[in-house]
């Protein structure tokens, strides 16, 4: 288009110069001829300047056309790396410290382009479970209505349940509302790699996990547990009974001790589920239970039958707690001795098949080094 515009203008310049020169010659007189020549030269110069101007305009128009084509990316079929202006969220341009801010609130980070380049210069998550930390640039995704928020309750074991030790299997069950369960992507290379999505009914599509940790010699410790150490972990990748009841069985059970079981509900790509409002009930649940041969099948808090009545139950429960505490101390000592030779290899945790208990290297089970998809320590 630029070439086609410039050529006619050049022809116009030549024609104007010739006309001016010819007119001067017909009138006679060198002065006029010189003046006409100067005029022709001026016209030509002016016309050349016009050509340059036309060229510049054409160039700008061409660039604008390219820019317009680029800005129609995304689902529009253009350059998918361009941010669609319709997707810019102005909320990200405010620190939040306005008239509605409360004392003690912190300033938000701000960005005019949805933080699309937030991870520049950082280690990208890129679908992996990066133990050393990373930056994930994938958008958060769809968020459900507050009437469709995830909520879970442990069905078993319940708080205070006393369950039989190994080799007795333990089944962990949870009832979850507002989750289309059974969607579980490959955690080896799609971890956090896609946004949270909703079903046609508006609930989060995803799955849940069961994680069990030893509480040591107390059912109610005051020191936070080490998240890299766990006795059992399993991602439940099926839809359960189709009505929110999901279960995972630990073959071989656990040794005597005090334990906590928790759910960790996730979207399909394993990110914690996102809720629409801050003030709400928790989406996950935990329960504390005891593994003991003494009074297995009873509950520390509610059963009256363990030893023939309330008084007897108190004694029996104390025996179970004492056994659990003693076993926990022994297990902790054994794990500490074992970790002397293994701590430098990674996180301490549980040994044995599936890493159920003891001294597992929990960290090595989540990333490229080992595959996992249907084993009981699946993420």
The H or E element containing residue 249 is strand 245-250
Query: pLDDT tens for residues 69-94?
Result: 333 334 444 568 999 999 999 999 99
Label residues 19-37 b or e (16+ Cβ within 10 Å = b): ebbeebeeeeeeeebeebb
Check residue 265 and report its DSSP letter.
E
- Residues 52-73, mean pLDDT to the nearest whole number: 38
Domain ranges within the chain, ordered by starting residue? 2-58, 146-365
Distance, CA of 210 to CA of 212 (rounded, Å):
7
Q: What mean pLDDT comes out for the span 267-285?
A: 98
Angle at Cα 299 formed by Cα 295 and Cα 300, nearest 5°? 90
At residue 131, the pLDDT reads 98
User: What is the per-residue pLDDT for 119?
Assistant: 98
Could you give the CA distance from residue 311 to residue 309 in angstroms, rounded to a whole number? 6
Give the separation between CA 206 and CA 150, rounded to whole angstroms: 11
pLDDT for 303 equals: 67
pLDDT at residue 99 is higher than 80:
yes
Per-residue pLDDT band at 322 (split at 50, 70, 90) = low
329 compared with 294, residue with greater pLDDT = 294
Higher pLDDT, 307 or 115: 115
Q: How many CA atoms lie within 13 A of 262 on its CB side?
A: 13
pLDDT at residue 215, rounded to an integer: 98
pTM value > 0.85: no
Query: Is 186 within 8 Å of 171 (Cβ atoms)?
Result: no
Q: Alpha-carbon distance 236 to 206, whole Å?
A: 10
DSSP β-bridge partners for residue 272:
266
Helix or strand (DSSP H, E) at 216: strand 204-216
Of the two residues 293 and 371, the one the predictor is more confident about is 293
How distant, in Å, are the alpha carbons of 85, 112, 194 from that of 75?
13, 21, 16
Query: What is the pLDDT at residue 302?
Result: 87
Going by C-alpha positions, the residue among 232, 185, 195, 196 that lies closest to residue 213 is 232
pLDDT tens digits along 124-175:
999 999 999 999 999 999 999 999 999 999 999 999 999 999 999 999 999 9
30-71 and 2-27 helices cross at what angle (nearest 10)? 170
Strand order across the 170-177 sheet: 151-156, 170-177, 245-250
- Percent share of the chain, pLDDT over 90: 58
How far is the C-alpha of 290 from the C-alpha of 285, rounded, in Å?
17
d(CA 379, CA 364): 12
Tell me if 263 sits within 8 A of 152, measured CB to CB. Answer: yes
Q: How far is Cα of residue 194 from the mean position of the Cα atoms in its chain? A: 8
For 332-376, write each residue's pLDDT tens digit: 444 444 443 433 333 333 333 333 443 344 433 343 434 444 445
Residue 53 has pLDDT above 80, yes or no: no
Answer yes or no: is pLDDT of 104 > 90: yes
Instruction: Domain 146-365: give its CATH superfamily.
Output: Immunoglobulins (2.60.40.10)
Whether the link from the prior residue into 157 is cis, omega within 30° of 0, is yes
């Amino acid at each position: 288009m630029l070439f086609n515009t410039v050529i006619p203008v050049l022809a116009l310049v030549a024609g104007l110069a010739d006309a001016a020169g010819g007119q001067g010659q017909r009138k006679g007189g060198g002065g006029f001829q010189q003046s006409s020549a100067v005029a022709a030269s001026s016209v030509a110069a002016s016309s050349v300047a016009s050509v340059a101007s036309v060229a510049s305009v054409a160039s700008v128009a061409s660039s604008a056309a390219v820019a317009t084509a680029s800005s129609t990316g995304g689902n529009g079929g253009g350059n998918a790396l361009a941010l669609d202006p319709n997707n810019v969220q102005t909320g990200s341009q405010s620190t939040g410290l306005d008239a509605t801010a409360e004392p003690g609130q912190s300033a938000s980070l701000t960005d005019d382009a949805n933080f699309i380049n937030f991870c520049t210069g950082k280690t990208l998550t890129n679908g992996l479970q990066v133990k050393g930390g990373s930056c994930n640039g994938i958008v958060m995704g769809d968020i459900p209505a507050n009437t469709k928020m995830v909520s879970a309750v442990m069905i078993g074991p319940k708080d205070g349940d006393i369950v039989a030790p190994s080799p007795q299997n333990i089944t962990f069950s949870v009832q979850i509302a507002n989750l289309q369960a059974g969607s579980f992507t490959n955690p080896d290379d799609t971890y956090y790699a896609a946004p949270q999505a909703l079903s046609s009914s508006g609930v989060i599509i995803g799955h849940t996990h069961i994680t069990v940790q030893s509480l040591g010699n107390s059912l109610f410790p005051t020191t936070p547990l080490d998240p890299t150490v766990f006795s059992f972990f399993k991602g439940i990748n099926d839809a359960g009974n189709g009505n929110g009841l999901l279960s995972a069985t630990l073959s071989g059970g656990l040794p005597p001790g005090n334990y906590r079981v928790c759910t960790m509900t996730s979207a399909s790509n394993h990110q914690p589920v996102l809720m629409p409002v801050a003030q709400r009930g928790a989406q996950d649940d935990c329960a504390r239970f005891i593994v003991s041969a003494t009074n297995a099948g009873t509950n520390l808090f509610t059963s009256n039958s363990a030893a023939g009545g309330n008084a007897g139950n108190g004694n029996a429960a104390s025996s179970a707690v004492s056994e659990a505490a003693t076993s926990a101390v022994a297990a902790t000592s054994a794990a500490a001795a074992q970790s002397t030779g293994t701590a430098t290899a990674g996180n301490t945790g549980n040994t044995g098949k599936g890493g159920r208990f003891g001294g597992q290297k929990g960290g090595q089970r989540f990333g490229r080094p080992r595959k996992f998809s249907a084993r009981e320590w699946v993420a």
